[in-house]
Structure 1
Amino acid sequence: MAEARTTGPRARYREQTRAEIKDAALRQLAEGGTAALALVKIAKELGMSGPALYRYFASRDDLLGALIDDAYADAAAAVAAAPDPGTGPRARLHALATAYRDWAVGEPHRYQLVQGTPTPGYTAPPETLASARAVLAPFLPVFATGTPAPATAPVVAQIRAWLARDEAVAAWVHAGAPAGPEAAATALTGTVLAWSTLHGTIGLEISGHYTGMGHTGETLLTAQTELLADSFALA
Protein backbone atom coordinates (compact mmCIF):
# COMPACT_ATOMS: atom_id res chain seq x y z
CA MET A 1 0.00 0.00 0.00
CA ALA A 2 2.86 2.39 0.80
CA GLU A 3 4.33 1.95 -2.70
CA ALA A 4 0.93 2.66 -4.25
CA ARG A 5 0.77 5.94 -2.36
CA THR A 6 4.24 7.06 -3.39
CA THR A 7 3.60 6.26 -7.04
CA GLY A 8 -0.01 7.45 -7.19
CA PRO A 9 -1.35 10.46 -9.13
CA ARG A 10 -0.79 12.89 -6.25
CA ALA A 11 2.83 11.83 -5.80
CA ARG A 12 3.47 12.01 -9.54
CA TYR A 13 1.93 15.49 -9.69
CA ARG A 14 4.12 16.61 -6.80
CA GLU A 15 7.29 15.33 -8.48
CA GLN A 16 6.27 16.91 -11.78
CA THR A 17 5.69 20.26 -10.07
CA ARG A 18 9.00 20.04 -8.23
CA ALA A 19 10.71 19.32 -11.57
CA GLU A 20 9.03 22.37 -13.16
CA ILE A 21 10.15 24.55 -10.27
CA LYS A 22 13.72 23.30 -10.62
CA ASP A 23 13.65 23.88 -14.38
CA ALA A 24 12.50 27.47 -13.83
CA ALA A 25 15.23 27.95 -11.22
CA LEU A 26 17.87 26.65 -13.63
CA ARG A 27 16.71 29.14 -16.26
CA GLN A 28 17.16 31.94 -13.74
CA LEU A 29 20.62 30.65 -12.83
CA ALA A 30 21.63 30.47 -16.49
CA GLU A 31 20.49 34.05 -17.04
CA GLY A 32 21.86 35.73 -13.95
CA GLY A 33 23.59 33.33 -11.58
CA THR A 34 22.52 32.57 -8.03
CA ALA A 35 21.81 36.25 -7.37
CA ALA A 36 18.93 36.02 -9.86
CA LEU A 37 17.30 33.05 -8.12
CA ALA A 38 14.04 34.24 -6.56
CA LEU A 39 11.17 32.00 -5.45
CA VAL A 40 8.63 34.77 -6.04
CA LYS A 41 9.71 35.06 -9.68
CA ILE A 42 9.55 31.29 -10.10
CA ALA A 43 6.06 31.17 -8.64
CA LYS A 44 4.92 33.95 -10.98
CA GLU A 45 6.42 32.19 -14.02
CA LEU A 46 4.61 28.97 -13.16
CA GLY A 47 1.33 30.67 -12.33
CA MET A 48 1.54 29.72 -8.66
CA SER A 49 1.16 31.71 -5.48
CA GLY A 50 4.18 32.12 -3.21
CA PRO A 51 2.67 30.04 -0.41
CA ALA A 52 1.83 27.28 -2.90
CA LEU A 53 5.46 27.07 -4.04
CA TYR A 54 6.64 26.70 -0.44
CA ARG A 55 4.69 23.46 -0.23
CA TYR A 56 7.27 22.01 -2.63
CA PHE A 57 10.43 23.70 -1.36
CA ALA A 58 10.57 25.04 2.16
CA SER A 59 13.06 27.79 1.33
CA ARG A 60 15.46 29.15 -1.26
CA ASP A 61 18.24 27.10 0.34
CA ASP A 62 16.07 23.98 0.13
CA LEU A 63 15.68 24.57 -3.61
CA LEU A 64 19.40 25.26 -4.00
CA GLY A 65 20.17 22.02 -2.18
CA ALA A 66 17.98 20.05 -4.60
CA LEU A 67 19.65 21.73 -7.60
CA ILE A 68 23.13 21.01 -6.22
CA ASP A 69 22.27 17.37 -5.59
CA ASP A 70 20.90 17.04 -9.13
CA ALA A 71 24.04 18.67 -10.55
CA TYR A 72 26.30 16.30 -8.65
CA ALA A 73 24.23 13.34 -9.83
CA ASP A 74 24.51 14.42 -13.46
CA ALA A 75 28.23 15.12 -13.13
CA ALA A 76 28.74 11.69 -11.55
CA ALA A 77 26.79 10.07 -14.38
CA ALA A 78 28.90 11.91 -16.97
CA VAL A 79 32.16 10.81 -15.34
CA ALA A 80 30.95 7.23 -14.87
CA ALA A 81 30.00 7.10 -18.55
CA ALA A 82 33.47 8.16 -19.70
CA PRO A 83 34.78 5.60 -22.18
CA ASP A 84 37.47 3.29 -20.86
CA PRO A 85 40.31 3.26 -23.42
CA GLY A 86 41.54 -0.02 -21.95
CA THR A 87 45.17 1.02 -22.37
CA GLY A 88 46.05 1.77 -18.76
CA PRO A 89 45.35 4.22 -15.95
CA ARG A 90 46.94 7.21 -17.69
CA ALA A 91 44.51 7.05 -20.61
CA ARG A 92 41.66 6.38 -18.17
CA LEU A 93 42.59 9.51 -16.19
CA HIS A 94 42.48 11.61 -19.35
CA ALA A 95 39.08 10.14 -20.24
CA LEU A 96 37.64 10.94 -16.80
CA ALA A 97 39.04 14.48 -16.82
CA THR A 98 37.68 15.12 -20.30
CA ALA A 99 34.25 13.79 -19.35
CA TYR A 100 34.08 16.07 -16.32
CA ARG A 101 35.21 19.11 -18.29
CA ASP A 102 32.70 18.38 -21.06
CA TRP A 103 29.91 18.27 -18.49
CA ALA A 104 31.07 21.47 -16.77
CA VAL A 105 31.51 23.46 -19.99
CA GLY A 106 28.14 22.25 -21.23
CA GLU A 107 26.42 23.14 -17.93
CA PRO A 108 28.40 26.13 -16.63
CA HIS A 109 25.66 27.50 -14.36
CA ARG A 110 25.24 24.07 -12.76
CA TYR A 111 28.99 23.58 -12.43
CA GLN A 112 29.21 26.87 -10.57
CA LEU A 113 26.64 25.56 -8.10
CA VAL A 114 28.88 22.66 -7.08
CA GLN A 115 32.34 24.21 -7.33
CA GLY A 116 31.89 26.62 -4.42
CA THR A 117 29.41 28.33 -2.11
CA PRO A 118 26.48 29.36 -4.32
CA THR A 119 25.37 32.18 -2.00
CA PRO A 120 26.89 33.79 1.12
CA GLY A 121 26.00 31.85 4.23
CA TYR A 122 24.66 28.81 2.39
CA THR A 123 25.49 25.46 3.97
CA ALA A 124 24.96 22.34 1.89
CA PRO A 125 23.00 19.51 3.56
CA PRO A 126 25.07 16.55 4.84
CA GLU A 127 23.82 14.23 2.10
CA THR A 128 25.57 16.42 -0.48
CA LEU A 129 28.88 14.87 0.59
CA ALA A 130 27.83 11.47 -0.75
CA SER A 131 26.83 13.09 -4.05
CA ALA A 132 30.20 14.82 -4.35
CA ARG A 133 32.05 11.59 -3.60
CA ALA A 134 30.15 9.84 -6.38
CA VAL A 135 31.79 12.22 -8.87
CA LEU A 136 35.27 11.37 -7.58
CA ALA A 137 34.87 7.62 -7.05
CA PRO A 138 35.97 6.61 -10.59
CA PHE A 139 39.32 8.34 -10.01
CA LEU A 140 40.25 6.13 -7.03
CA PRO A 141 41.19 2.94 -8.95
CA VAL A 142 43.14 5.02 -11.46
CA PHE A 143 45.65 6.05 -8.80
CA ALA A 144 45.55 2.95 -6.58
CA THR A 145 48.45 1.26 -8.38
CA GLY A 146 50.44 4.44 -8.93
CA THR A 147 53.75 5.41 -7.38
CA PRO A 148 53.62 8.90 -5.86
CA ALA A 149 56.52 11.18 -6.68
CA PRO A 150 58.63 12.43 -3.75
CA ALA A 151 57.07 15.88 -4.10
CA THR A 152 53.70 14.45 -3.11
CA ALA A 153 55.01 12.83 0.09
CA PRO A 154 53.69 15.51 2.49
CA VAL A 155 50.20 15.18 1.00
CA VAL A 156 50.35 11.39 1.10
CA ALA A 157 51.33 11.53 4.78
CA GLN A 158 48.39 13.78 5.63
CA ILE A 159 45.99 11.65 3.60
CA ARG A 160 47.30 8.48 5.31
CA ALA A 161 46.59 10.05 8.71
CA TRP A 162 43.14 11.14 7.56
CA LEU A 163 42.28 7.60 6.49
CA ALA A 164 43.49 6.24 9.83
CA ARG A 165 41.19 8.49 11.85
CA ASP A 166 38.13 8.66 9.57
CA GLU A 167 36.51 5.26 9.14
CA ALA A 168 33.82 6.57 6.78
CA VAL A 169 36.39 7.97 4.33
CA ALA A 170 38.49 4.81 4.59
CA ALA A 171 35.43 2.68 3.83
CA TRP A 172 34.58 4.84 0.81
CA VAL A 173 38.11 4.55 -0.57
CA HIS A 174 38.20 0.79 0.02
CA ALA A 175 34.87 0.38 -1.77
CA GLY A 176 36.20 2.28 -4.78
CA ALA A 177 39.67 0.76 -4.84
CA PRO A 178 40.00 -2.30 -2.58
CA ALA A 179 43.61 -2.42 -1.41
CA GLY A 180 45.88 -2.08 1.60
CA PRO A 181 46.55 1.11 3.58
CA GLU A 182 49.39 2.41 1.40
CA ALA A 183 47.49 1.88 -1.84
CA ALA A 184 44.45 3.53 -0.26
CA ALA A 185 46.53 6.57 0.70
CA THR A 186 47.93 6.73 -2.83
CA ALA A 187 44.48 6.38 -4.39
CA LEU A 188 42.95 9.15 -2.28
CA THR A 189 45.95 11.45 -2.67
CA GLY A 190 45.76 11.16 -6.44
CA THR A 191 42.01 11.68 -6.40
CA VAL A 192 42.27 14.80 -4.23
CA LEU A 193 44.98 16.19 -6.51
CA ALA A 194 42.84 15.39 -9.55
CA TRP A 195 39.90 17.17 -7.92
CA SER A 196 41.94 20.30 -7.25
CA THR A 197 43.41 20.21 -10.75
CA LEU A 198 40.01 19.87 -12.37
CA HIS A 199 38.41 22.65 -10.37
CA GLY A 200 41.36 24.98 -10.75
CA THR A 201 41.62 24.59 -14.50
CA ILE A 202 37.93 24.29 -15.35
CA GLY A 203 36.85 26.96 -12.88
CA LEU A 204 39.16 29.51 -14.49
CA GLU A 205 37.90 28.54 -17.94
CA ILE A 206 34.23 28.86 -17.03
CA SER A 207 34.86 32.15 -15.25
CA GLY A 208 36.29 33.52 -18.51
CA HIS A 209 39.84 34.02 -17.27
CA TYR A 210 41.35 32.43 -20.38
CA THR A 211 39.65 34.91 -22.72
CA GLY A 212 42.23 36.65 -24.88
CA MET A 213 44.97 34.24 -23.90
CA GLY A 214 46.78 31.96 -26.33
CA HIS A 215 45.47 28.63 -25.10
CA THR A 216 42.19 26.81 -24.63
CA GLY A 217 40.83 25.19 -21.50
CA GLU A 218 40.93 21.82 -23.22
CA THR A 219 44.64 21.91 -24.04
CA LEU A 220 45.52 23.26 -20.62
CA LEU A 221 43.58 20.52 -18.84
CA THR A 222 45.22 17.88 -21.03
CA ALA A 223 48.66 19.17 -20.05
CA GLN A 224 47.73 19.40 -16.37
CA THR A 225 46.33 15.86 -16.43
CA GLU A 226 49.48 14.55 -18.09
CA LEU A 227 51.61 16.18 -15.41
CA LEU A 228 49.43 14.61 -12.72
CA ALA A 229 49.79 11.20 -14.38
CA ASP A 230 53.57 11.69 -14.44
CA SER A 231 53.62 12.50 -10.72
CA PHE A 232 52.09 9.06 -10.00
CA ALA A 233 54.04 7.21 -12.70
CA LEU A 234 50.81 6.04 -14.30
CA ALA A 235 51.30 3.68 -17.21
Structure 2
Amino acid sequence: MSSTPRTRARAQTLADITRIGREHLAADGAAALSLRAVARDLGVVSSAVYRYVSSRDELLTLLVVDGYTELGDTVDAAVDAADGPKQKFLALGRAVRQWGLREPARYALLFGSPVPGYNAPAEQTTGPGTRVITALVTVLHSAWTTSRPDVEADSPELASLHTSFEEIRQEMGTDLPDELMALGVMVWASLFGAISFDVFDQYGATTFASRDDLFEYQLGILTKIAGLE
Protein backbone atom coordinates (compact mmCIF):
# COMPACT_ATOMS: atom_id res chain seq x y z
CA MET A 1 0.00 0.00 0.00
CA SER A 2 1.54 3.30 -1.13
CA SER A 3 1.97 6.15 1.34
CA THR A 4 -0.22 9.23 1.16
CA PRO A 5 1.14 12.71 0.35
CA ARG A 6 0.60 13.70 3.98
CA THR A 7 2.59 10.68 5.20
CA ARG A 8 5.40 11.44 2.77
CA ALA A 9 5.43 15.09 3.82
CA ARG A 10 5.62 14.13 7.49
CA ALA A 11 8.47 11.68 6.83
CA GLN A 12 10.37 14.36 4.89
CA THR A 13 9.89 16.92 7.67
CA LEU A 14 11.16 14.46 10.29
CA ALA A 15 14.15 13.71 8.05
CA ASP A 16 14.87 17.44 7.76
CA ILE A 17 14.56 17.90 11.53
CA THR A 18 16.94 14.99 12.10
CA ARG A 19 19.43 16.35 9.56
CA ILE A 20 19.42 19.81 11.13
CA GLY A 21 19.62 18.23 14.58
CA ARG A 22 22.77 16.38 13.48
CA GLU A 23 24.28 19.67 12.34
CA HIS A 24 23.53 21.33 15.67
CA LEU A 25 24.86 18.28 17.54
CA ALA A 26 28.16 18.53 15.68
CA ALA A 27 28.40 22.29 16.17
CA ASP A 28 27.15 22.77 19.73
CA GLY A 29 26.98 19.37 21.46
CA ALA A 30 24.03 17.38 22.77
CA ALA A 31 23.43 19.44 25.91
CA ALA A 32 22.89 22.61 23.84
CA LEU A 33 20.32 21.16 21.42
CA SER A 34 17.34 23.46 20.98
CA LEU A 35 14.11 22.86 19.09
CA ARG A 36 13.77 26.59 18.58
CA ALA A 37 17.16 26.68 16.84
CA VAL A 38 16.17 23.69 14.70
CA ALA A 39 12.91 25.44 13.76
CA ARG A 40 14.82 28.58 12.82
CA ASP A 41 17.12 26.66 10.49
CA LEU A 42 14.16 24.78 9.09
CA GLY A 43 12.51 28.10 8.29
CA VAL A 44 9.36 27.58 10.36
CA VAL A 45 7.99 28.83 13.66
CA SER A 46 8.82 26.69 16.68
CA SER A 47 5.20 25.64 17.15
CA ALA A 48 5.33 23.94 13.75
CA VAL A 49 8.27 21.78 14.84
CA TYR A 50 6.50 20.78 18.05
CA ARG A 51 3.85 19.05 15.93
CA TYR A 52 6.55 16.59 14.88
CA VAL A 53 8.96 16.58 17.82
CA SER A 54 7.47 17.48 21.17
CA SER A 55 10.62 18.14 23.19
CA ARG A 56 14.39 18.27 23.24
CA ASP A 57 14.39 14.71 24.62
CA GLU A 58 12.37 13.48 21.66
CA LEU A 59 14.84 15.18 19.33
CA LEU A 60 17.70 13.46 21.15
CA THR A 61 15.93 10.12 20.75
CA LEU A 62 15.56 10.75 17.03
CA LEU A 63 19.29 11.43 16.82
CA VAL A 64 20.19 8.40 18.94
CA VAL A 65 18.10 6.06 16.79
CA ASP A 66 19.45 7.70 13.63
CA GLY A 67 23.04 7.26 14.81
CA TYR A 68 22.62 3.65 15.89
CA THR A 69 20.85 2.83 12.63
CA GLU A 70 23.55 4.35 10.44
CA LEU A 71 26.32 2.70 12.45
CA GLY A 72 24.49 -0.64 12.32
CA ASP A 73 24.06 -0.38 8.55
CA THR A 74 27.73 0.51 8.14
CA VAL A 75 28.88 -2.43 10.27
CA ASP A 76 26.51 -4.91 8.63
CA ALA A 77 27.75 -3.94 5.17
CA ALA A 78 31.39 -4.33 6.21
CA VAL A 79 30.82 -7.68 7.94
CA ASP A 80 28.76 -9.07 5.07
CA ALA A 81 31.53 -8.21 2.60
CA ALA A 82 34.19 -10.12 4.60
CA ASP A 83 34.87 -13.87 4.55
CA GLY A 84 35.39 -15.92 7.71
CA PRO A 85 35.13 -14.97 11.39
CA LYS A 86 38.58 -13.36 11.64
CA GLN A 87 38.06 -11.07 8.65
CA LYS A 88 34.51 -10.28 9.77
CA PHE A 89 35.78 -9.28 13.22
CA LEU A 90 38.46 -7.07 11.70
CA ALA A 91 35.90 -5.52 9.36
CA LEU A 92 33.54 -4.83 12.25
CA GLY A 93 36.20 -3.12 14.34
CA ARG A 94 37.46 -1.00 11.46
CA ALA A 95 33.94 0.00 10.46
CA VAL A 96 33.04 1.21 13.96
CA ARG A 97 36.28 3.18 14.28
CA GLN A 98 35.98 4.77 10.84
CA TRP A 99 32.38 5.78 11.53
CA GLY A 100 33.34 7.21 14.93
CA LEU A 101 36.21 9.25 13.49
CA ARG A 102 33.94 10.51 10.73
CA GLU A 103 31.04 11.27 13.11
CA PRO A 104 32.65 12.12 16.47
CA ALA A 105 29.66 14.07 17.82
CA ARG A 106 27.23 11.28 17.01
CA TYR A 107 29.63 8.67 18.39
CA ALA A 108 29.84 10.72 21.59
CA LEU A 109 26.04 10.84 21.80
CA LEU A 110 25.90 7.03 21.58
CA PHE A 111 28.96 6.02 23.58
CA GLY A 112 30.15 9.09 25.48
CA SER A 113 29.01 10.75 28.68
CA PRO A 114 25.23 10.74 29.28
CA VAL A 115 23.38 13.91 28.35
CA PRO A 116 22.26 15.59 31.62
CA GLY A 117 18.56 15.08 32.24
CA TYR A 118 18.03 12.71 29.30
CA ASN A 119 17.07 9.06 29.59
CA ALA A 120 16.86 7.19 26.30
CA PRO A 121 13.57 5.28 25.98
CA ALA A 122 14.48 1.59 25.84
CA GLU A 123 11.52 0.67 23.63
CA GLN A 124 12.89 2.92 20.88
CA THR A 125 16.65 2.64 21.30
CA THR A 126 17.42 -0.92 22.45
CA GLY A 127 16.83 -2.55 19.06
CA PRO A 128 19.00 -0.15 17.03
CA GLY A 129 21.47 0.17 19.89
CA THR A 130 22.28 -3.55 20.07
CA ARG A 131 22.87 -4.14 16.37
CA VAL A 132 26.66 -3.90 16.56
CA ILE A 133 26.98 -6.13 19.62
CA THR A 134 24.60 -8.60 17.98
CA ALA A 135 26.83 -8.65 14.91
CA LEU A 136 29.87 -9.20 17.14
CA VAL A 137 28.18 -12.06 19.00
CA THR A 138 27.24 -13.64 15.67
CA VAL A 139 30.86 -13.50 14.48
CA LEU A 140 32.25 -14.91 17.72
CA HIS A 141 29.58 -17.60 17.93
CA SER A 142 30.29 -18.80 14.39
CA ALA A 143 33.96 -19.17 15.26
CA TRP A 144 33.58 -20.64 18.73
CA THR A 145 31.14 -23.35 17.70
CA THR A 146 33.94 -24.97 15.71
CA SER A 147 37.12 -23.94 17.52
CA ARG A 148 36.79 -22.66 21.06
CA PRO A 149 39.46 -20.51 22.70
CA ASP A 150 41.37 -21.92 25.62
CA VAL A 151 39.56 -20.48 28.64
CA GLU A 152 39.32 -21.69 32.20
CA ALA A 153 36.20 -23.78 32.74
CA ASP A 154 33.99 -23.30 35.79
CA SER A 155 35.63 -20.03 36.78
CA PRO A 156 34.52 -19.26 40.36
CA GLU A 157 34.51 -15.51 39.63
CA LEU A 158 31.66 -16.03 37.15
CA ALA A 159 29.35 -17.99 39.43
CA SER A 160 27.38 -14.90 40.44
CA LEU A 161 26.96 -13.94 36.76
CA HIS A 162 25.41 -17.18 35.53
CA THR A 163 21.85 -15.83 35.58
CA SER A 164 22.94 -12.68 33.78
CA PHE A 165 24.68 -14.68 31.09
CA GLU A 166 21.66 -16.96 30.76
CA GLU A 167 19.44 -13.96 30.08
CA ILE A 168 21.88 -12.74 27.43
CA ARG A 169 21.98 -16.21 25.86
CA GLN A 170 18.20 -16.16 25.57
CA GLU A 171 18.20 -12.67 24.05
CA MET A 172 21.04 -13.36 21.62
CA GLY A 173 20.05 -16.91 20.67
CA THR A 174 23.39 -18.45 21.60
CA ASP A 175 24.42 -21.40 23.75
CA LEU A 176 27.96 -20.31 24.56
CA PRO A 177 29.10 -21.17 28.12
CA ASP A 178 29.63 -18.50 30.75
CA GLU A 179 33.40 -18.41 30.23
CA LEU A 180 33.05 -17.59 26.54
CA MET A 181 30.30 -15.08 27.25
CA ALA A 182 32.69 -13.30 29.64
CA LEU A 183 35.47 -13.44 27.04
CA GLY A 184 33.10 -11.89 24.50
CA VAL A 185 32.29 -9.07 26.93
CA MET A 186 36.01 -8.41 27.41
CA VAL A 187 36.62 -8.33 23.65
CA TRP A 188 33.64 -5.99 23.20
CA ALA A 189 34.73 -3.63 26.00
CA SER A 190 38.34 -3.62 24.81
CA LEU A 191 37.37 -2.91 21.20
CA PHE A 192 35.14 0.03 22.09
CA GLY A 193 37.65 1.25 24.66
CA ALA A 194 40.35 1.44 21.99
CA ILE A 195 37.99 3.19 19.58
CA SER A 196 36.73 5.65 22.20
CA PHE A 197 40.27 6.60 23.23
CA ASP A 198 40.94 7.42 19.58
CA VAL A 199 37.68 9.24 18.80
CA PHE A 200 37.79 11.28 22.03
CA ASP A 201 41.49 12.09 21.53
CA GLN A 202 42.48 10.59 24.86
CA TYR A 203 45.93 9.72 23.54
CA GLY A 204 46.89 13.31 22.80
CA ALA A 205 47.27 14.77 19.34
CA THR A 206 50.97 13.99 18.85
CA THR A 207 51.61 10.98 21.08
CA PHE A 208 51.61 8.36 18.31
CA ALA A 209 52.96 8.74 14.79
CA SER A 210 50.20 6.54 13.37
CA ARG A 211 46.98 5.83 15.22
CA ASP A 212 45.91 3.63 12.32
CA ASP A 213 48.85 1.32 12.95
CA LEU A 214 48.20 1.34 16.69
CA PHE A 215 44.59 0.34 16.15
CA GLU A 216 45.56 -2.43 13.74
CA TYR A 217 47.93 -3.78 16.40
CA GLN A 218 45.16 -3.61 19.01
CA LEU A 219 42.77 -5.41 16.65
CA GLY A 220 45.36 -8.10 16.08
CA ILE A 221 45.76 -8.68 19.81
CA LEU A 222 41.98 -8.88 20.28
CA THR A 223 41.81 -11.34 17.40
CA LYS A 224 44.27 -13.60 19.21
CA ILE A 225 42.51 -13.18 22.57
CA ALA A 226 39.21 -14.12 20.93
CA GLY A 227 40.78 -17.23 19.40
CA LEU A 228 40.11 -16.11 15.83
CA GLU A 229 43.61 -16.69 14.49
How does the TM-score come out when normalised to structure 1? 0.83
Unmatched segments (≥5 aa) in structure 2: none
Q: Which amino acid aligns with 1:193?
A: M
Give aligned-pair identity as a percent.
31
Give, in whole Å, the separation in 1 of the partners of 2:172 and 2:161.
11
Classify the secondary structure of the residue corresponding to 1:58: coil
Q: CA deviation at 1:15?
A: 0.9
Call closer, same or farther: CA 1:30–1:222 in 2, change over 3 Å: same
CA RMSD of aligned residues (A): 2.5
* 1:69 alignment counterpart: 65
Please identify, of 141-150 and 109-118, the stretch whose mean Cα deviation from structure 2 is larger: 141-150
Give the counterpart of 2:199 among 186, 203, 206: 206
Q: Which secondary structure state, in structure 2, belongs to the residue aligned with residue 233 of structure 1?
A: coil
Match of 1:104 in 2: 100
Query: C-alpha displacement at 1:34, in angstroms?
Result: 1.3
CA contact (8 A) 1:201 1:220 kept: no
**CA 1:186 to 1:222, structure 2 compared with 1: closer, same or farther past 3 Å?**
farther
Question: Where does 1:27-176 land on structure 2 (aligned, <5 Å)?
Answer: 27-83=23-79, 84-86=81-83, 88-127=84-123, 128-144=125-141, 145=144, 146-150=148-152, 153=155, 160-164=162-166, 166=167, 169-174=168-173
Structure 1 residues 221, 141: CA separation in 2 closer, same or farther (over 3 Å shift)?
same
CA distance in structure 2 between the partners assigned to 1:22 and 1:118 by the alignment? 20
SS of corresponding position for 2:122: coil
Please report the TM-score for the alignment, with normalisation by the length of structure 2.
Answer: 0.84
| 1:132–1:187 distance in 2 versus 1, CA, 3 Å | farther
Residues in 2 aligned to 1:234 and 1:140: alpha-carbon distance in whole angstroms? 13
1:162 aligned partner, one-letter code = S
CA distance in 2, matches of 1:157, 1:98: 34
For residues 98 and 176 of structure 2, the distance between their equivalents in structure 1, rounded to whole angstroms, comes to 33
Q: Secondary structure at the match of 1:213?
A: coil
- The aligned amino acid for 1:203 is S
The 1:25–1:75 alpha-carbon spacing in structure 2 relative to 1, beyond 3 Å, is same
- Asked if the contact 1:143–1:187 (Cα under 8 Å) also holds between the matched residues in 2, the reply is no
In structure 1, runs of 5+ residues without a counterpart are none
Match of 1:234 in 2: 228
Deviation string for 1:38-63 (max 9, x for gaps)? 11111111121111111111110101
- The correspondence of residues 186-201 of structure 1 with structure 2, limited to 5 A, is 188-201=181-194
CA–CA separation in structure 1 for the residues paired with 2:33 and 2:137: 35
Quickly say closer, same or farther: Cα 1:148–1:39, change in 2 above 3 A.
Answer: farther
